A and B are shown apart, each in its own frame.
Chain A
Amino acid sequence: MGTLLLIALTATFINNFVVVQFLGICPFLGVSKDTKSAFGMGVAVTFIMTLTCLITYPIYTSILVPLGLEYLEIIVFIFVIASLVQMIESVLKKFSPTLYNSMGIYLPLITTNCAVLGVAELVIDVGTAEALGLASMGLLNSVAYGFFGGIGFLISIVIMSGLREKLKNAPFNKHLKGFPIAMITATFIAMAFYVFSMISL
């Protein structure tokens, strides 16, 4: 239980995927214009990150490593993710057309979301396990890492979209409009999250 709590804190706050590890910045900037679609995107990413860990970790440890095929990891992982995203897309299209419409172009782009491939790479990385004081991650911890990493993504993208909604009508210099001001907004979120890195566990 202690390990799970540690993973929850680490993946969600201390090593927040977006503002500390810089994974998944494209949707963080692209789909954060209004809170509703940001929330939808966050939930979709969380779901896919959890499932990705659930599938890629066993594939890596019980198929690729015993066969000595570790170098195929990138290709295998990206294909698992691509098919997962395709699946989610079909499911959403069928059951929640509103959510499907609000995410629009960004849903297929979850495939190329660094956070998803990043979490698959991070849970098989020895460094991640060592930082948590474990010899290796194990399936349960990996899935937890994926889930809480996704929650971290969700929290930061929702905060970001809230701030951007407030800033929408603020008078800026025209060169700062769009991406620059979004980056500067993200600066303050990153500063807030920096406080969590002071926590010693």
Chain B
Amino acid sequence: MGKLKKIASDGLIFSNPTLRLVLGTCPTLALTTAASNGIGMGLAVTFVLICSNVLISLLKNVIPNTVRIPAFILIIATFVTVVKLVMDKFLPDLYSSLGVYLPLIVVNCIILGRAESFAFKNPVFDSALDGLFMGLGFTGAMTLMGAVREILSNGSIFDISIWNANSFSIGFFGSSAGAFLTYGLFIAIFNYVVNKIQKKLAKKEAK
């Protein structure tokens, strides 16, 4: 139980790939113009992350240490191809809005990072959980940023209009400059909150 809790809290909060480790920044900046894009991309990455973590963990005794990186990339590229074909067939709208960033999941540092630092050293079940929670941490951060940017620039959330965008909207947050600003402020705020939590936890432990 303690292990599960640790993997979950690491993935979602303390080592959140987007906001703490600042990995996989390209899709985060590009696809957070709308909350729905954030969820779509997040789930695609989560799927690839779980599958590649499981497979790499299973093969960790077979893959020679020297060629592990090419082997990881091959495994990841295979799963990304699967996601791409499935999404092209069943979710064509999402497929076209993710565009070039879908094949770019292959070079997403989160996935390669977890393969290298977790899946290659840990048992299968733990690796699957790590993939799940890291993926959810990524999805959560992307959706939240997408929601904030969508509300500010478009007056809507998940394409549901909240107020009339003609009367009030800040187009800046929909632009590329707005993406950098939102991301920067998100990291700063998240760091602040996590530092507070860590201090509290340390105090509790001291007692």
Which residues of A line the B interface, CB within 8 A? Answer: 19-26, 29, 71-75, 78-79, 82, 108, 111-114, 116-118, 121-122, 125, 127, 173, 175-176, 179-184, 186-188, 190-191, 193-194
CA distance A122 to B184 in the complex (A): 27
Could you tell me the distance in whole angstroms from the C-beta of B43 to the nearest C-beta in chain A? Answer: 19
The reply on B29 being an interface residue by CB < 8 A is yes
B177 adjacent to A179 (CB under 8 Å): no
Could you tell me the distance in whole angstroms from the C-beta of A72 to the nearest C-beta in chain B? Answer: 8
A118 adjacent to B188 (CB under 8 Å): no
B29 adjacent to A25 (CB under 8 Å): yes
Residues in A whose Cβ lies below 8 Å from that of B192 = 175
Most chain B beta-carbon contacts within 10 A, residue among A108, A175, A183: A183
Could you tell me the distance in whole angstroms from the C-beta of A35 to the nearest C-beta in chain B? Answer: 20
CA distance A71 to B99 in the complex (A): 15
A74 adjacent to B80 (CB under 8 Å): yes
A111 adjacent to B25 (CB under 8 Å): no
Mark the stretch among B2-10, B100-108, B129-137 that contacts chain A.
Answer: B100-108
CA distance A74 to B107 in the complex (A): 10
Could you tell me the distance in whole angstroms from the C-beta of B56 to the nearest C-beta in chain A? Answer: 16
B107 adjacent to A78 (CB under 8 Å): yes
CA distance A180 to B192 in the complex (A): 12
Could you tell me the distance in whole angstroms from the C-beta of B14 to the nearest C-beta in chain A? Answer: 16
CA distance A180 to B190 in the complex (A): 10
Mark the stretch among B71-79, B118-126, B197-205 that contacts chain A.
Answer: B71-79
B73 adjacent to A82 (CB under 8 Å): yes
CA distance A127 to B97 in the complex (A): 13
Could you tell me the distance in whole angstroms from the C-beta of B159 to the nearest C-beta in chain A? Answer: 22
Residues in B whose Cβ lies below 8 Å from that of A194 = 175-177
Closest 3 CB pairs of A and B: A183-B184, A190-B177, A180-B188
Query: Which residues in window 75-90 of B have CB below 8 A to A?
Result: 77-78, 80-81, 84-85
Q: Which of B26, B180, B184 contacts A23 (CB 8 A)?
A: B26
22 residue pairs A–B, Cβ–Cβ below 8 Å = A19-B177, A22-B176, A25-B29, A29-B25, A71-B81, A74-B84, A78-B73, A78-B77, A78-B106, A79-B74, A82-B70, A111-B69, A113-B107, A117-B104, A121-B103, A125-B100, A175-B191, A175-B192, A179-B187, A180-B187, A180-B191, A194-B175
Interface residues on B, range: 35 or more
Residues in A whose Cβ lies below 8 Å from that of B109 = 26, 112
Q: Which of B73, B84, B195 contacts A175 (CB 8 A)?
A: B195
Could you tell me the distance in whole angstroms from the C-beta of B52 to the nearest C-beta in chain A? Answer: 13
CA distance A105 to B179 in the complex (A): 27
- Closest A residue to B84 by beta carbon equals A74
User: With A74-B80, A75-B74 given, is the CB distance from A182 to B176 under 8 Å?
Assistant: no
CA distance A24 to B30 in the complex (A): 12
Could you tell me the distance in whole angstroms from the C-beta of A19 to the nearest C-beta in chain B? Answer: 6
The reply on B183 being an interface residue by CB < 8 A is yes
B184 adjacent to A181 (CB under 8 Å): yes
